[in-house]
Chains A and B, each alone.
Chain A
Amino acid sequence: MEVPILKQSDYLIATIQAALTDEDLLKLHYALVEQVGKHRSRGVIIDVTALDIMDSFATRTLRSLVHMVKLRGADTVICGIQPEVAFTMVQLGLTLEGISTALDLEEGLALLTTSNNKKRKI
């Protein structure tokens, strides 16, 4: 199942809607890195509310996705990690260090907007 990517002003929003195969996750990876340039986006939100697990592969892929998007000049926020998913990730030893996270889509958008405004002032 492919992940739809929506463009909203300066941002791209990718909402994961069901369990993804490794291949789907890699496709999302390439699509986002490409579309950041195409739409000249300043930020990307990956909404993982519907993901019922985050295993080591998903965590590793998301981590590299965030770094690649960063190299393309945009910030990423991962939002919607469910409580039991967070619990399991920590027990498993998986971390998203250095990556912005937010409770939900609304908070994620707010976080991107704040960091963008700060950048513009500089």
Chain B
Amino acid sequence: MDGGSTIAITSDSDIIVARELGRRVGRELDFSLTDLTIIATVISELARNIIIFAKHGDMIIETIRHGKKVGIVITAVDKGPGIPDIFLAMQDGYSTGKGLGLGLPGVRRLMDEFEIFSETGKGTRVSVKKWLM
């Protein structure tokens, strides 16, 4: 991985800064307009979860190379309350009323790879990847 940037997320205006950086990194990699919109939206969702649940944290945006494949990695890290039930958090909440409404199932659908680590009282780390096809 290279070209990583970290943005401290402490207020809602930082969400826009993170989104614009994600777009810029994505554009340099030559992602399509649809993919750039997906990348910006995913950053927005993850950064907003930080603000709402942990008050502050970091968004890390990196490029990744794996053989001939190139992609973008977006990681959201916080030291907030953590997610007690990740299974519940991964249920679709918007339409069914199930789940926690964190937007994580949607984020997983939009990206190619999705990883989450969370420990109650210690924090949450969500890392997602999108490969350039």
Q: Decide if A23 is an interface residue (CB 8 Å cutoff).
A: yes
Q: Decide if A35 is an interface residue (CB 8 Å cutoff).
A: no
Q: Decide if B88 is an interface residue (CB 8 Å cutoff).
A: no
Q: In chain B, residues 10-36, which have Cβ atoms closer than 8 Å to a Cβ of chain A?
A: 12-13, 15-16, 19-20, 23, 33-34, 36
Say whether B33 contacts A92, CB under 8 Å: no
Do most interface residues of chain B lie in helix, strand or loop, or is the interface mixed?
Answer: helix
Q: Decide if B123 is an interface residue (CB 8 Å cutoff).
A: no
Number of A positions contacting B (CB below 8 A): 21
Please encode chain A, from 47 to 85, with 1 for each CB lying within 8 Å of some chain B CB and 0 for all others.
000001111110000000000000000000000001111
Say whether B94 contacts A93, CB under 8 Å: yes
Q: Decide if A8 is an interface residue (CB 8 Å cutoff).
A: no
Given contacts A56-B45, A93-B105, contact A88 B12 (CB under 8 A): no
Bound: A53/B46 CA distance, A: 14
Say whether B19 contacts A92, CB under 8 Å: no
List the 5 closest pairs (A to B, CB-CB), nearest first. A92-B106, A22-B12, A55-B44, A84-B37, A84-B34
Number of B positions contacting A (CB below 8 A): 27
Q: Decide if B70 is an interface residue (CB 8 Å cutoff).
A: no
Say whether A87 contacts B94, CB under 8 Å: no
Instruction: Given A52-B37, A93-B94, output 5 extra A-B contacts at Cβ < 8 Å.
Output: A21-B15, A84-B33, A88-B110, A91-B110, A93-B106
Q: Decide if B103 is an interface residue (CB 8 Å cutoff).
A: yes
Say whether B13 contacts A21, CB under 8 Å: yes
Say whether A55 contacts B38, CB under 8 Å: no
Residues of A within 8 A of B94 (CB): 56, 92-95
Closest chain A CB from B10 CB (angstroms): 13
Closest chain B CB from A91 CB (angstroms): 5
Closest chain A CB from B93 CB (angstroms): 8
